[in-house]
Copies of this chain bind each other. A is one copy, B any other.
């Protein structure tokens, strides 16, 4: 099998919609933990981690072992939503390790294994439960590419993909500090909803990310999240907390909102939920709202049994006690420190995000892209985020060893310095 990059083939046979491969023009062949290797033998530190789909790193040995064992034993690969030994074990483990210790009572809806499918399920269910249409989404929110989820997504470029069709039945409100520190987003929303002539129809739900991964690593405070939860309750709306990118330990706890004192009604999960980057998504539903009829929402791949295997291992390995969570807290400090050094190089730069989901707003998309391109040349995979791609975002696996974290941050710092120097030269 020819391994090295064949650009003509991609040009000829893969759609123009392809994207990350444009930033990282090489052919990857192998990956382990937080490192990847390409066909030429180059090694890269991975600070992208499948956009937070690989929180536990590439090819975790325990997950690998369990999956191989499962396949070798002719374990079910595809079972629609039939009962399987593996689904049962996953559900039991999820109940034991995640739900019970957190006093959470949710039912799990297997929704088709993509985040957008979990989000669409949540939006449909909220509308069914309330009999209302309007869903309040937030500036810079990102929830998916299918028509329902896209309507709740802020990004104009993505929205343009819908062509000439209206993205309706959503209202977009400012995320915390979206209009600056001095403008109270919660009060704006409060007044819009309190005023019966505001033109904002009574909401079926609010949908919010505690940290906006694609939107620029905006992290909501507990106050803001509680405010949204309160508004939802006051107005008879459901609270959908989209924890697809920020969940599974990314912010330092399993759910990103654990310490905020809120109880979401619906929680779409995906990305790192399978542990190993396999397609898997689910919607957590408060039991009283689980009014679905059998198969009312379905999907061929809603029982990805391989993912059940690895997802169970992930829970057992990392979340059985609080030791992993303590590690994460320590690493978050390292990350903050490293990024602060980067920010110090750039006038007006500021840190964004929370936990192991942080980045630097460098003030310009061009500069951020230049920094990332230089990182890639130096063996670091890292990407931008934000409405103008102005944030250099670190989404390294949360299992990344400290030394590797530091190595990556060092490259980032160096690349930043070069980019800044280059900018200054160009300006002269």
Contacts and interface: CB of A to CB of B under 8 A. Distances in A.
A270 B126 CA distance: 28
A138 to B, nearest CB: 8
Interface residue SS majority, chain A: loop
A414 interface: no
Interface residues of A, number: 161
Contacts of A179: 187-188, 191
Interface stretch (A164-172, A222-230, A328-336, A353-361): A164-172
Contact of A163 (B53, B127, B153): B127
A276 B138 CA distance: 39
A389 to B, nearest CB: 10
Interface stretch (A286-294, A339-347, A399-407): A286-294
Contacts of A184: 183
Given A17-B298, A146-B147, A146-B148, 17 more contacts: A1-B89, A5-B88, A16-B291, A17-B294, A17-B297, A20-B80, A29-B76, A53-B301, A77-B276, A121-B145, A133-B164, A137-B199, A147-B148, A148-B165, A159-B199, A159-B201, A178-B195
A247 interface: no
Copies of this chain, complex-wide, total: 4
B27 A54 contact: no
Given A91-B13, A139-B195, A271 B299 contact: no
Interface stretch (A110-118, A253-261, A366-374): A110-118
Contacts of A201: 156, 159, 167
A64 B74 CA distance: 9
